[in-house]
Amino acid sequence: MTRDRALRSVVLATPLVWAVAFMFVPYLIIFTYSFWLKQYPTFVPAFQFGNYLQLLVDPQYYQVLLRTAKIAILVALSALAIAYPFAYYLVFKVTSARLRLTLYMAVIAPLWVSYLLRAYIWKTILGSEGVINSFLVWIGILDTPTDIFLYNQFSMVVTLTYIFIPFMVMPIYTALEKIPRNLIEASKDLGVGPFGTLFKVIWPLSLPGVFAGMTFAFCLTFGDFVAPFLVGGPDGVMVANVITSQYGAALNWPLGSALAIVMLIIVLGIIELSDRFERSGRINLA
């Protein structure tokens, strides 16, 4: 008994120590830095709220937060619009288990490819010498290649939707797969058509997967800084890029830490809000 208890303690202590060492301690350090004072050429320990006040009074910071939230919402909605019909088709229309697995793995497979490579592929596709420009020139719509497809918020939404769509497909697919088929059959027996069954039975029961997928897409987009650097341009600077510049060229770690803490609070708030919606949805369905 003592040996089993010691083994359980070791098993439980390992992830706990990992979380404390690599999550709690770094967050605590960043939180501490956010109260420090910038003093040329570096910064000094202090306890003041000037960094947070600067984020409130300087419009460029809340503008970049709003821009980041806007892009994250667009990515989440775009991924949902693509992932839900695809997951629905896999679960309810594909009868072959082998074909279903093949199509599912085709969506998941890009996760095994380098993130940087996936982002750079879209830079190549949307670029002046990319597939879209080459096709438009070939059919005669354009005389010369254009740069309107790249280095803007549109290119960011397209790129990030492609990158994060597996995180939308997986929870929605799981939620749809768990729906009891007898409920769908009962809906049909009562004379409800396919669209009525979709919106009155399938959609409400799949909301936990939808909330989980949108939370994944939003939070991952909100903290992304590679894609804005590759395809965003000046109009696509996001909060993570500003934090990177504060820790890098600006050498203003206190302000960067304050912005990171604000970003963390927003992400945690979104996760908590999503969890509340998911739980309330389950209660209502029950």
pLDDT score, position 250: 85
| Token representation of residue 142 | 């354009």
pLDDT score, position 249: 83
User: Is pLDDT of 282 > 70?
Assistant: no
pLDDT score, position 84: 97
User: Is pLDDT of 285 > 60?
Assistant: no
pLDDT score, position 1: 52
Q: Please give the mean pLDDT across all residues of the chain.
A: 89
| Token representation of residue 234 | 């000046």
Burial of 256 (0-12, 13-18, 19+ CB in 10 A): buried
Q: Would you say 284 and 207 are in contact if contact means Cβ atoms under 8 Å apart?
A: no
- Looking at domain 59-285, its CATH architecture is Orthogonal Bundle (1.10)
Give how far the C-alpha of residue 191 lies from the chain's centroid of Cα atoms, to the nearest Å.
39
User: Is pLDDT of 217 > 70?
Assistant: yes
Q: pTM of the full predicted structure? A: 0.90
pLDDT score, position 149: 84
Is-cis flag, bond preceding 85, omega within 30?
A: no
DSSP label at residue 234: G
How much of the chain exceeds pLDDT 90, in percent?
A: 52
pLDDT score, position 279: 75
pLDDT score, position 220: 95
User: Is pLDDT of 138 > 70?
Assistant: yes
pLDDT per residue as tens digits for the range 71-103? 999 999 999 999 999 999 999 999 898 999 999
The pLDDT confidence band at residue 193, using thresholds 50, 70 and 90, is confident
Q: Would you say 223 and 190 are in contact if contact means Cβ atoms under 8 Å apart?
A: no
What average pLDDT does range 213-232 have in this prediction?
91
pLDDT score, position 260: 95
User: Is pLDDT of 284 > 60?
Assistant: no
Burial of 220 (0-12, 13-18, 19+ CB in 10 A): middle
Residue 113 CA to residue 169 CA, distance in Å, equals 17
